[in-house]
């Protein structure tokens, strides 16, 4: 579903020959009222103005950033789970 939406956005931009666009993405997780910036190693942030915004120029660069964020999210889940075990 995400890929279909991304492709639609780029198709719309491609059709707008007279316009210039800059695309930026952020990827966050909100857990227990805490914001985690998944494009910055899953680090917690105090407010949304501190969230990383990555400039992207293709569908592949968006999906690559999403994959990177998922990896950070997973590593943070594993860290949290290991703390609960000890």
pLDDT value of position 55: 93
Q: How far apart are CA 57 and CA 22, in angstroms?
A: 8
Three-state SS at 44: strand
pLDDT digit string, tens, across residues 48-85: 889 999 999 888 999 899 999 999 888 876 565 544 44
Predicted model pTM: 0.72
Cβ-Cβ contacts under 8 Å for 11 (sequence gap 6 or more): none
The burial class, CB within 10 Å (0-12 / 13-18 / 19+), for 23 is middle
Total residues belonging to the chain: 86
Q: Where are the domains of the chain?
A: 21-85
Mean pLDDT of 19-27: 88
Query: Contact at 8 Å (CB) between 52 and 40?
Result: yes
């Amino acid at each position: 579903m995400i890929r279909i939406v991304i492709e639609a956005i780029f198709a719309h931009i491609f059709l707008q020959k007279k316009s210039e666009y800059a695309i930026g993405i952020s990827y966050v997780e909100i857990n227990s009222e805490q914001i985690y910036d998944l494009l910055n190693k899953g680090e917690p942030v105090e407010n949304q103005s501190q969230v990383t915004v990555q400039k992207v120029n293709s569908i592949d660069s968006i999906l690559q950033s999403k994959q990177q964020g998922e990896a950070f999210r997973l590593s943070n889940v594993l860290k949290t789970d290991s703390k609960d075990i000890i």
